[in-house]
Amino acid sequence: MVSDKLKIMFVLPSLRAGGAERVMSYIASHLDSSRFEAHLLIIGFEKDKVYDINDTVNVIYLNKARVSRSIVSIVKTLRKYKPDVVMSSISHVNTMMSIISPFFRKAKFIGREANVKSTRAQFSSKQVGIGSMLSNRSFKVLDAIICQSNDMLNDFKESMEIDESKFVVINNPITDNFTYTSKSPKKNNVPKYITVGTLHKRKGHERILKLLSKVNHQFHYTIIGNGNEKDTIEKLIKELGLSKAVTHVPYTKEVPEFLAVSDIFINGSFVEGFPNVLIESCAVGTPVIAFEAPGGINEIIIEGVNGHIVNTEDDYVEKLNELYANNYFDAKLVSDSVTSRYGKDIILAKYETLFTNLANGKPIK
């Protein structure tokens, strides 16, 4: 018996810890199983898996160490399962799928972009080469391009000549476990600050540490994440005399718990794609202070309701001192400000509409 369900194939390099991996695997696991048949094609290895996948999803591991060496296996898998829609994320995987797509005329190919490319490039040590040129061309071949924020969409429009009808903005969903629970307003005598993210220069940990060394009160700052800037950050913590005030947690599955007991999420990023952790922090009732930067921050933060956006380090210090004296944020309002816009049912409905329209030859928005 032929199924009426749409077959959706999600393609990822791995199921290691990462924003794209978490969002894509979550979407695959939570599609309406009465209407969609979800397949998750993982180029890497099952041993690297850190995300739980629902039993309704067919997970295929290619057991390849590199995306560039997986093209034959990907083609064989697509021929076997014959998906109606193929969705990939992360630039080099999108590029690979654009090369493959002409051989599967009946399938529709979607690329989900993870970065504001022009600004992100300023923090990359890689030189522009054939890989970058292929990446730029790949977006013209794909049937649809998902941008996570309006900043990302506008960046594409300014930097590439692509049919605008291919673009759709779909924000990331608030995944399970990031929920508000009724509790007394946070009144820690020593405020607890937190940052969650890869230790990379674009995340701005160094400028956060420098401004924290200037505040007029005691605090405790937790950094969750790992990356190539770890040694630099640890050295700076010592130089600033903050060793007793800072805790580094390389990896934990208890991020919701850490966020919930914190007073303020402090974000130092120079650029984002669409920062999941900001909406997750707000979802549990913890407001955010962030620098003005491209990548959806100005869409997430509602000034004075769930956080503040500042322009300089001096402004940042002033705001932290002000909130130390009087943290006026209402945790329930902070949570409502994001769940009303990025709740999982809202975002999943947008993905399901996109898949259905694309597969049936209708406009995607």
Domains delineated in the chain: 6-172+343-359 (3.40.50.2000), 192-342 (3.40.50.2000)
DSSP state string for 288-304: EEEE--SSSHHHH--BT
User: Has residue 114 got a pLDDT over 80?
Assistant: no
User: Which of 82-86, 88-92, 180-184, 310-314 is least confident?
Assistant: 180-184
User: Has residue 123 got a pLDDT over 60?
Assistant: no
User: What is residue 59's DSSP assignment?
Assistant: E
Mean pLDDT of 248-252: 94
User: Has residue 175 got a pLDDT over 60?
Assistant: yes
Each residue of 68-78: pLDDT tens digit? 889 999 999 99
Per-residue pLDDT, 119: 55
User: Has residue 129 got a pLDDT over 50?
Assistant: no
Supply angle C-alpha 258, 17, 14, rounded to 5.
165
CA distance 170 to 24: 12
CA distance 319 to 363: 45
Per-residue pLDDT, 17: 79
E strands in 239-328: 246-249, 264-267, 288-291, 307-310
Task: Centre a 10 Å sphere on the Cβ of residue 210 and count the other Cβ atoms it contains.
Answer: 17
Per-residue pLDDT, 187: 64
Per-residue pLDDT, 101: 93
Question: At 43, is the pLDDT very low, low, confident or very high (cuts 50, 70, 90)?
Answer: very high
| Phi/psi-derived region of residue 204, left when phi > 0, alpha when psi is between -120 and 50, beta in every other case | left
Please name every residue paired with 60 in a beta bridge, in sequence order, or none if there are none. 41
pTM for the model stands at 0.89
| Percent of the chain surpassing pLDDT 70 | 92
Length of the chain: 365
